[in-house]
Amino acid sequence: MNKKMLRIGYQFFANPNTNVTTDTDLSVENKTFYDKSLIQEATPNLIHNQFGQKRPIPKNGGKKIEFRKFASLPKATTPLTEGVTPDGKKLSVTAIEATIAQYGDYIVQSDMLELSSIDNTIVEATKILGNQAGLTLDTITRNVLQGGTNVYYAPKSDGTAITSRTTLDNTCKLTVDVVKRVVAILKKNNAPKIDGSYIGIVHPFAAYDLMSDPAWVEAQNYADPTKLYESEIGKIAGVRFVESSEAKVYEDGVFGTLIFGAGAYGVTEIEGGGLQTIIKQKGSAGTADPLDQRSSIGWKAATVAERLVEPYLMRVESKSALSGDIEAN
């Protein structure tokens, strides 16, 4: 076999999307494609991010990002005087600054993998990394929300009140009565609703106890089931619940269910610089890769989450009939 035939044979098996050393950089179209693919894979995992006040990553603006908290106006109980225009009120806005941080990971692949693989390894790596990115960013937001100061401990089945996580037992389940009590607290705090309801983020094991109540309405039975949030499973007592296996689980099978209203927290947007794909072709490393044997694909994200109005966010801690089958996350 001559050299020309050998080159043709390798080219036949090589994936057409594989970057080669003659590439000076990814084309704009390919970069856009991989960025969109990464975001598409990450988005379904961003359960905790989807309800936050969103702010774009500031370009060339340092590491600070600013969220805004608007104060309510006091009641206007003084009667108006006929013909006299009263003094109006000024809008009170509090700026809350947060410092963004970067997160990321990557996969290195060999030239032989690119030559011999039947699958498009860059596309497959993008899917895997996108899933990892989404779970990572979701966990960062989740942990911030779980640090809220308002906690309600599910009482025992006999009605005994609980005042700490360590005293929860397996009868302290998430029930419709618990949800009603938390909703009452949020209403007392004047927490605004999101599209007419409060939102709950719940672990599947905690949802197992709640969904057995006859008042539970499955999401597919809504009057308009087409307008669902990502991973929404149903509603009860004025709360629409979304389910995630990444909802917080504490030691000894204690679940942290979040129930909140609009404006409770803020997050950064993942598009427009928040989340991006980085692909390095073979040969781009110079003398660090003298035989052009390695390429890599990775992701990088700048993000931060911040609780904005503590009274609008409640954490319900409970156990479940399935608590013995779960580890802390």
Give per-residue pLDDT as tens, 293-304.
888 889 999 899
Structure tokens at 26: 């990814």
Q: Are residues 277 and 292 in the same domain?
A: yes
Across the chain, mean pLDDT equals 83
316 in any annotated domain: yes
Asked, for residue 251, whether it belongs to a domain, the answer is: yes
104 and 233 assigned to the same domain: no
- Report pLDDT for 3: 42
**Domain total for the chain?**
2
Q: What is the CATH number of the domain that holds 319?
A: 3.30.2320
Residues 28 and 40 occupy one common structural domain: yes
Which pLDDT belongs to residue 18? Answer: 42
Q: What proportion of the chain, given as a percentage, has pLDDT over 90? A: 48
Asked if pLDDT for residue 307 goes beyond 60, the answer is yes
How far from chain centre, in Å, is Cα 176? 25
Q: Are residues 59 and 34 in the same domain?
A: yes
Instruction: Read off the pLDDT of residues 170-206 as tens digits, 9 standing for 90 and up.
Output: 999 999 999 999 999 999 999 999 999 999 999 999 9
How many other C-beta atoms are found inside a 10 Å radius of the C-beta of residue 262? 16
Q: Is residue 216 part of a domain?
A: yes
DSSP string over 166-225: GG--TT-B--HHHHHHHHHHHHHTTPPPBTTBEEEEE-HHHHHHHTTSTT-EEGGGSSST
List strand residue ranges (DSSP E) for the chain, in order: 53-55, 64-70, 93-99, 101-110, 151-153, 198-202, 217-218, 232-236, 239-243, 249-250, 254-260, 265-268, 275-280, 294-303, 305-307, 313-318
Nearest in space to 293 (alpha carbons), one of 303, 276, 280, 277: 280
In a domain, 9, yes or no: no
Tell me: pLDDT of 152 over 50.
yes
Q: What size, in residues, is the chain?
A: 329
Domain identity same for 178 and 296: no
Report if residue 85 sits inside a domain: no
Encoded amino acid at 328, one letter: A
Q: 83-121 pLDDT, tens per residue?
A: 888 888 776 777 888 888 999 999 887 776 566 554 577
Cβ atoms of 259 and 312 within 8 Å: the answer is no
Considering the domain architecture, whether residues 196 and 173 belong to the same structural domain is answered as yes
30 and 114 co-located in one domain = yes
Alpha-carbon span 198 to 238, nearest angstrom: 6
Residue-range definition of the domain harbouring residue 289:
24-69+94-144+267-304
CATH of the domain at 104: 3.30.2400
pLDDT of amino acid 60: 63
Question: Distance between alpha carbon 315 and the CA centroid of its chain, in Å?
Answer: 17
Query: Are both 98 and 206 inside the same structural domain?
Result: no
Q: At what angle do helices 28-42 and 121-146 cross, to 10 degrees?
A: 50
Query: Which tokens is 299 given?
Result: 């992701």
Residues 113 and 41 placed together within one structural domain of the fold: yes
Q: Are 140 and 99 in contact (CB under 8 A)?
A: no
Residue 297 sits in the same domain as residue 320 = no
Per-residue pLDDT at 22? 34
pLDDT digits 0-9 by tens, 35-69: 778 888 888 888 999 999 888 876 766 688 888 77
Alpha-carbon span 314 to 239, nearest angstrom = 12
- Domain for residue 2, yes or no? no
One-letter amino acid for residue 154 of the chain: A
pLDDT in tens, 308-321: 999 999 999 999 98
Does some domain include residue 12? Answer: no
Overall pTM > 0.75: yes
Tell me, yes or no, whether 11 lies in a domain. Answer: no
Please tell me whether residues 281 and 292 are part of one structural domain: yes
Q: Are residues 98 and 175 in the same domain?
A: no
